[in-house]
Chains A and B, each alone.
Chain A
């Protein structure tokens, strides 16, 4: 009996230990990719911003490609691709080369890499023609001058059809309830550039302890007028442009904004 009880307690202890180990790694909920609105009337420079958002989100390009990394990755680093793409294949312009790489990625494989990239117009990525154009504009901007427009003919027909499924993340409701501040920050894509749970620098500064550093008013200002005060060593204009491109300022309601500010103010660096 003594040992039976001992084994019982030991089992709970070991199980709890492993459960605790699971709490020590970064905690991140992953939502289905948001649909990005790509209007027919976007200018080329607006397409760059939208393209970047797709590149980092729905396109899942960041899973395999890096930009400006010195480490050898699984797929080619894309720094300078805007400048080099025109000379990759004789007879293909930069737009044609990028379009071929996106629609038929196995046609030309960069030396030293394996084939394996999925055509972006097919599931699970399923970009439409407009989204592909925006991505090309963004890729052109990496070291080159974007020239593509929403009217550019690529010579490929995007095959994806509207999914029968509803994109859960594109709605403001998950689980039938209005999203809370934390879920809104994730749903609005803030966590793509800011770490909310760890003191780790991503594209923007970590918001891990923002409640300790900024007042509620300053947080509100940082959201609504991002360039009013720029954290040291971060480029001005980037956050405002990103948020404008996603339609944040048009879509956000006062209640949602309050929920986001409340949550950010509560982040004091303790997990």
Chain B
């Protein structure tokens, strides 16, 4: 394994340092494209790039929550947190090697298959490759010292290594995002595409929104994969103590995934807003043109994610004595989630038979199409987030009885906050139908802010109310098999969603390598159907899970920290 890691690391390092040399060595009349056999260059690059991104997301995200878990263990002195953090870190070392190997493969394929385009990007970003390579070395040093040094350094030194690992990882992400976002919203160049200002090329319209969106999405995705690892180990052990440990691991992974998932639609909104800010045409292609149906697929995925996340929490209440008192609320939460998901997934125009279309008087259903616009969808997603938050709240309260004298009043205030927020969000949603576009677009901001306010204020009240609460034990390990499959479902759905949105971000440029600057003149200049893209994404997800199975298997071989 050490040999593999070293190889992957060396290959990517050599690739980073040699790209400028290799590309500059091309003759002036260089070929623009070379064909990849059988599947074509586009699909080949698509698959390798997406697989690299998935592993990179995992490798950058896991250290973030590992550090927090380790810190909690350090502060509370509870060994189980330290064990959990170490268990998550075990997944990292193999995943890092795969990330490096896939990154190197992507780099070489870009140089070989898209030489002219790669040459252009290098001409813009040549000086970012050197810090990138150095940061990559630093990442490897921090990661392996952090992993192999577990328990061998003082806790503070080890935590400092974790901080270094995260800082370097974030810097790597930000540099790579500059290259990617420049392709969508180029800046810092002349009208003929020559570099004028590198900082402006880096800090282009979509750079920071993508940085933030990816950071959050990575944590969510990483949490879901880590939870799937917990589920995998849970299902494959018969030892009670291990089951309890991996049940808890699955729960923590899922908790991290969902916590990060809740603000993700807001980050996505900011990103879409910046895309519109850069180019209305690009924005309309994304939300109202060729890619608008992609968001119906996205709605199905996100709906499934919310359902599975809530379902896992509801099953989880079965292992909490005292949580049965909240069982009656579940059906209302399910109704709320179902309605919101349906509203989110309703398209503006319908796919209908000729007879149906005639009866409707066109492609727009007389009243369902009313729910197919952003006013309705923003309202639905905000209520969906609130509902999931309530599920968390009930789960958290499952084994607790408040002892403070003002508990009744606290509950009432929380209820009023929720009721007022829902009323406000729905009001703004309806109001959006009666105002012009300029006002309507701005309404989503107070909707989001009111939901954020509700979640923060209710959490603060809850923390105070349950500070000295009577608590019953949670029976970790007493979870049915279907709960573990739910965790896998969440992980697969997250991965598929990452693949789909990766396609959206890249495909959005349509027949441009660099939007408005460098046209795609290859045989793949056309944008494929969403059905075709969906199958490619599915294949990528399957390949990813084959790799992940390998990672899980290897991590399992290194033994559990739980004594048998």
One of B235, B280, B297, B485 near A117 (C-beta < 8 A): B280
- Chain B nearest Cβ from A10, distance in angstroms: 6
Residues of A within 8 A of B362 (CB): 201
Q: Which of A23-31, A35-43, A222-230 is near enough to bind chain B? A: A23-31
Partner of B493, one of A14, A25, A118, A174: A14
Do A19 and B535 touch across chains, with their CB atoms under 8 A apart? yes
CA–CA, A239 to B131, complex, Å? 58
User: Which A residues are in CB contact (< 8 Å) with B438?
Assistant: 112-114
Residue from A26, A114, A116, A125 within 8 A of B351 (CB atoms): A26
Given contacts A14-B492, A30-B510, A201-B362, contact A25 B351 (CB under 8 A): yes
Instruction: Enumerate chain B residues within 8 angstroms of A19, measured Cβ to Cβ.
Output: 534-535, 537-538
Tell me whether A60 and B281 are in contact in the complex, defined as CB-CB below 8 angstroms, given that A15-B492, A200-B357, A201-B357 are known contacts. yes
Q: How far is the CA of A77 from the CA of B526 in the complex (A)?
A: 29
B527 interface residue (CB < 8 Å to A): yes
Q: Is the CB of B527 within 8 A of A30?
A: yes
Whether B466 sits at the interface, judged by CB under 8 Å, is no
Known A-B contacts A3-B235, A168-B511; A72 and B280 likewise in contact (beta carbons under 8 Å) = no
Closest to A22 in B: B534
Stretch at the interface among B17-25, B264-272, B282-290, B467-475: B282-290
Question: How would residues 287 to 307 of chain B score, 1 for a CB under 8 Å from any chain A CB and 0 otherwise?
Answer: 011100110110011000000
User: How many pairs of A and B residues are in contact by the CB < 8 Å rule?
Assistant: 183
CB-based contact B297/A11 at 8 Å:
no
| Pairwise interchain contact A22-B531, C-beta atoms closer than 8 A | yes
A-side contacts of B520, CB under 8 Å: 32, 165
> How big is chain B's contact interface, by range?
35 or more
- Contact present for B235 and A22 (CB under 8 Å): no
Decide if B280 touches A74 in the complex (CB within 8 Å).
Answer: yes
Nearest chain B CB to A125 CB, angstrom units: 7
Chain B residues numbered 386-415 whose CB sits less than 8 Å from any CB in chain A = none
CB pair B511–A7 under 8 Å, yes or no, is no
Is B563 part of the binding interface, using a Cβ–Cβ cutoff of 8 Å? Answer: no
User: B533 at interface (Cβ–Cβ under 8 A)?
Assistant: yes
Per-residue contact bits, chain B 224-238, to A (CB 8 Å; 1 contact, 0 not): 000000001001100
Which of A12, A72, A165, A209 makes the CB contact (< 8 A) with B519? A165
| Contact residues in A for B352 (Cβ distance below 8 Å) | 198-200
Closest CB in chain A relative to B75 CB, distance in Å? 35
Q: Does A267 contact B (CB under 8 A)?
A: no
Residue of chain B at shortest CB distance from A63: B284
**Cβ distance A204 to chain B, nearest Cβ, rounded Å:** 14
Q: Is B440 an interface residue (CB 8 A)?
A: yes
A240 to B414, CA, bound (A): 66
Contact check, A22 vs B297: say whether CB atoms are below 8 A apart. yes
A175 at the interface (CB under 8 A from B): yes
- Whether A200 lies near B496 (C-beta < 8 A) is no
Is B170 engaged at the interface, CB distance under 8 Å to the other chain?
no
Q: Which of B517-550 contact A (CB under 8 A)?
A: 517-523, 525-535, 537-538, 541-542, 545, 549
Is B276 in contact with chain A by the CB < 8 A criterion? yes
A75-B280, A117-B280 known; A25 vs B297 contact (CB < 8 Å): yes
Interface of chain B: mostly helix, strand, loop or mixed: helix
Complex Cα distance, B532 from A175, in Å, reads 17
User: Which B residues touch A63, using CB under 8 A?
Assistant: 280-281, 284-285, 288-289
> Once the chains bind, are A32 and B534 in contact (CB under 8 Å)?
no
Interface string of B475-513 (1 = CB under 8 A from A): 000000100010011001100100000000000001110
Q: Please, how many angstroms separate the alpha-carbon atoms of A31 and B519 in the complex? A: 13
- Among B518, B530, B549, the residue within 8 A (CB) of A22 is B530
Contact, CB under 8 Å: A7 / B488: yes
Whether the pair B281, A124 counts as a contact (CB closer than 8 A) is yes
Q: How far is the CA of A209 from the CA of B523 in the complex (A)?
A: 30
Question: What is the CA–CA distance of A7 and B552 in the complex, to the nearest angstrom?
Answer: 13
Query: What separation, in Å, do the CA atoms of A240 and B25 have in the docked complex?
Result: 53
In the complex, which of the residues B356, B440, B511, B542 contacts A11, with contact meaning CB atoms closer than 8 Å?
B542
Q: In the complex, A182→B137 CA distance in Å? A: 51
Q: A25-B351, A200-B363 are in contact. Are A72 and B534 (CB under 8 A)?
A: no
B123-145 CB contact bits vs A (8 Å, 1 = yes)? 00000000000000000000000
With an 8 A cutoff between CB atoms, is B436 at the interface?
A: yes
Q: B353 at interface (Cβ–Cβ under 8 A)?
A: yes
Tell which of B232, B280, B354, B521 touches A166, judged by Cβ atoms closer than 8 Å: B521
Q: Which of A135-183 contact B (CB under 8 A)?
A: 159, 163-169, 174-176
Which of B281, B289, B351, B526 is the one whose CB lies under 8 Å from A32? B526
A21–B293 CA distance with the chains assembled, in angstroms:
11
- Choose from B289, B354, B521, B545 the contact partner of A209 (Cβ within 8 Å): B354
Given A32-B525, A64-B280, A72-B436, verify A27-B354 contact (CB < 8 Å).
Answer: no
Check A107 for interface membership: any CB of B closer than 8 A. Answer: no
* Cβ–Cβ contact B281 & A112, under 8 A: no
Residue of B nearest to A23 (CB): B531
Provide a sorted-by-A list of 21 A–B residue pairs whose CB atoms are within 8 angstroms. A11-B542, A12-B542, A14-B489, A15-B492, A16-B538, A21-B534, A22-B530, A22-B533, A23-B534, A28-B529, A30-B510, A32-B511, A63-B288, A64-B284, A116-B280, A118-B279, A123-B191, A165-B521, A200-B357, A201-B357, A206-B354
Binding site for B on A (CB under 8 A): 3-4, 6-8, 10-12, 14-16, 18-19, 21-32, 60, 63-64, 72-75, 112-114, 116-118, 122-125, 159, 163-169, 174-176, 198-201, 206, 208-209
